[in-house]
Amino acid sequence: MARFRIGSYAGFFIHDNPQALDLIKEYIANGQAVAFSGYVLCGYGTNLPMQDGVIYETSLQLDQSGQPIGHGQLVVGYDDNVGTSGNQGALLIQNSFGTGWPACVGATGSIAPPGMAYWSYNSFVQTQQLAAVAYHVPPDRRAVSDSPAARAPHSPRSAARFNGCRTGNRHRLI
């Protein structure tokens, strides 16, 4: 279906990339969610450890062969002021587990909206591997079709709309 095509994308490594966090924050500030994949933290699916409502865990879950388990999610916001003293700043993560997450996996005290969690900058860049951002298909490259769906207006933010929420250094997609 032409209206759901990706025009292009950008991908970059997170771990061992000193520019990764700034790139993610720049994409979020410009109204784009950032998909990422990396390693699953200990307790992530059963008893997600949080401190003051933020994920700081860096220990990884391993499979039966001793290899780290992987998972993908979305970064939909960030706040430079969230976190403990000396470890401030966190990304707002949306998981595919629904609005009951992270409470459904034993996390208590989350300060994020339902279905989301704040993940400390430090833990995130230590444990996650790859990020990607998709760009819409420019209007001059869209396929022409007689179907009403194809003639519907296209929006690069149909899945997430930037609400302009900026308080200090905080940005969030809704």
Q: Under CATH, which number does the domain 2-172 receive?
A: 3.90.70
Predicted confidence band at 146 (pLDDT cuts at 50, 70, 90)?
A: very low
Single pTM value for the model: 0.76
Which phi and psi (to 5°) does residue 152 adopt? -65, 150
Q: What is the mean pLDDT of residues 120-141?
A: 88
**Mean pLDDT along residues 75-95:** 93
Copy the structure tokens of residue 56. Answer: 């700081």
Q: Residue 4: which pLDDT band, with cuts at 50, 70 and 90?
A: low
